[in-house]
Amino acid sequence: MDQHLVIVENLNKQFGEGETAVKALDNVNFTLDSGVFAAVTGESGSGKTTLLNVIGSLMPPDSGSVRIDGYDITKQGDDALAVYRRRKIGFIFQNYNLIPVLTVEENIVLPMNLDSAEPDYEYLGELLRMTGLESKRRNFPHELSGGQQQRVAFIRALIHKPDIILADEPTGNLDSRNSQEIINILKESVKKYNQALLLITHDLNIAAQADRIFRMDDGVMTELNGVNPQ
């Protein structure tokens, strides 16, 4: 078994050919442990989302490897990866992607139902209480504020108890108060459930709260090691 939860080695991804080629990932190497919140900053187009998509097995790299808890996702077929994503990875995106005709609870447990898995309703209740949504479980998305909808998306990402949470600008549509509340909830979850969190953000105040801070520049990933993320 690997010492680290996530091991990324020599990861490369290019889009296009010739003079128009863009090197989205340029020999990226890093590790991430359980219980750690890592933030990734950088300009738009620097490769941040590509990195998240490759680690989340939504996109294959051109070369290199990604191992999560000893499982090399870069060597698996599409069917195996689909199952792996549902069971081991929690995704949180800037857009909430909630289904309008389903209630809060139905939206949250839908991925588990699709996997023919029985949701842990005691755990669901704990997450609803943690996020202040216990009274909203029968409501529909249009009856919630933006911050509440993002919390629903957050619980949906956690309900299957993933090893790693991948968050792509999860507070991008929220005001500062709601943004900080979401980050506080994520930080609490990472520590309480010993998960790893890899979060992309343009907000340097959010990045400064992470245990580790990385910056992407033209596909090159650098750890800032306590340096101001600017």
User: Do 86 and 114 form a contact (C-beta atoms < 8 A)?
Assistant: yes
Q: Give the pLDDT confidence score for residue 2 in this predicted structure.
A: 66
Q: Give the pLDDT confidence score for residue 125 in this predicted structure.
A: 93
Q: Give the pLDDT confidence score for residue 1 in this predicted structure.
A: 55
Q: Give the pLDDT confidence score for residue 230 in this predicted structure.
A: 52
Q: Give the pLDDT confidence score for residue 196 in this predicted structure.
A: 96
Q: Which fold has domain 6-223?
A: Rossmann fold (3.40.50)
Q: Calculate the alpha carbon distances from 41 to 55, 183, 215 in Å.
A: 16, 15, 5
Whole-model pTM: value is: 0.89
Q: Calculate the alpha carbon distances from 104 to 125, 133, 169, 171 in Å.
A: 12, 9, 22, 19
Q: Give the pLDDT confidence score for residue 131 in this predicted structure.
A: 87
Q: Give the pLDDT confidence score for residue 93 in this predicted structure.
A: 85
Taking 70 as the pLDDT cut, the residues of the chain under it are 1-2, 225-230
Q: Which residues contact 130 (CB under 8 A, 6 or more apart)?
A: 185, 188, 189
Helix H or strand E segment including 15: strand 6-15
Report how far residue 168's alpha carbon sits from residue 153's, in angstroms, rounded to the nearest whole number. Answer: 12
